[in-house]
Structure 1
Amino acid sequence: MMITALVLLLQSGPAGQPECDQEASDQGIQQEMNICAAAEYREADAALNAQWAVTSARMKERDEGWKPDWDRRPGHFTTLLESQRAWLRYRDAHCRLDGYYARGGSLEPLLVSTCKTGLTILRTEQLKELAERGP
């Protein structure tokens, strides 16, 4: 038992996550497919977080020059933050539901991770477009 735990720890990737064995994943070994899908999601999430930093900074810049008396709506950053929080709730719930196709089975984590990766990549592009738009 102790040796197994040590081997797993030594094979772990960032933050104690197991590393993806792409060859085993390509052979259809479910556990490896799950591990690789989770690693892909972590990469997509890291890219999302990097783009978030850029886009949120851009929205804060836009807020600095926008203070008309006639417009009492929330600013760019506040609206971006609200939308991001709503999107995170949507993504997590939608992908949980997508995983229910294999609810309780070994395929469920793969379905959830794959769903989260796809939606996260799309959201990263949306954030990039927001940052690049006009004034």
Structure 2
Amino acid sequence: MKKLSLYFSILFLFSFSSTLLAQTQAEMDQTAINDYKKADNELNLVYKKLMKQLSEKEKKLLIVAQKDWIKFRDSKCNFEQKEYEGGTIQPVIYYACLMECTNKRTEDLKANLEDREKRYGAK
């Protein structure tokens, strides 16, 4: 039941993708990769904007935190895809996990940036 629920959750997630016209597994895999890349690009933009607001000490701390987060994200997604090892859905599960984690991290960084802008004003 858990696998079926996760599969339908993935399908639901991708139903909102503007590129979801995929019919084959390869197309679904590529859509998942593209969606992750889009999320990663957004994260990088927010990260760079936040870095501009930080002191040198804070920048060093954020760099460490980001490296730790990447390790966590990769471990989490490797764990989540392991259940589907050998299955055709495995790449979609992996990249959907990367996208979801990346979107959450982006929201965290945006919240930090917005909080700083409220406290200190935009730089």
Normalised to the residue count of structure 2, the TM-score between the two structures is 0.74
1:110 and 1:49 mapped to 2: Cα distance? Answer: 22
| Structure 2, unaligned runs of 5 or more | 1-17
**Residue 70 of structure 2: SS of its match in structure 1?**
helix
Give percent identity, aligned residues only: 28
Query: Higher relative CO (CA 8 A, sep ≥ 6), structure 1 or 2?
Result: 2
Aligned-residue Cα RMSD (Å) equals 1.8
* Equivalent residue pairs, number: 100
1:89 and 1:47 mapped to 2: Cα distance? Answer: 19
The aligned residue for residue 35 of structure 1 is: 30
The aligned residue for residue 117 of structure 1 is: 99
Offset at residue 21 of structure 1 (A): 6.3
- Higher-Rg member (1/2): 1
Give the number of the structure whose residues are more often helix, by fraction: 2
Q: Cα 1:77–1:104, aligned 2, differ >3 Å: closer, same or farther? A: same
Any idea what the Cα deviations from partners look like across 1:28-61, whole Å, max 9, x if unmatched? Answer: x2221111011000000000011111011111xx
| Structure 1, unaligned runs of 5 or more | 1-19, 65-74
**Residue 101 of structure 2: SS of its match in structure 1?**
helix
Q: Which runs of 4+ in 1 moved over 6 A?
A: none
Normalised to the residue count of structure 1, the TM-score between the two structures is 0.68
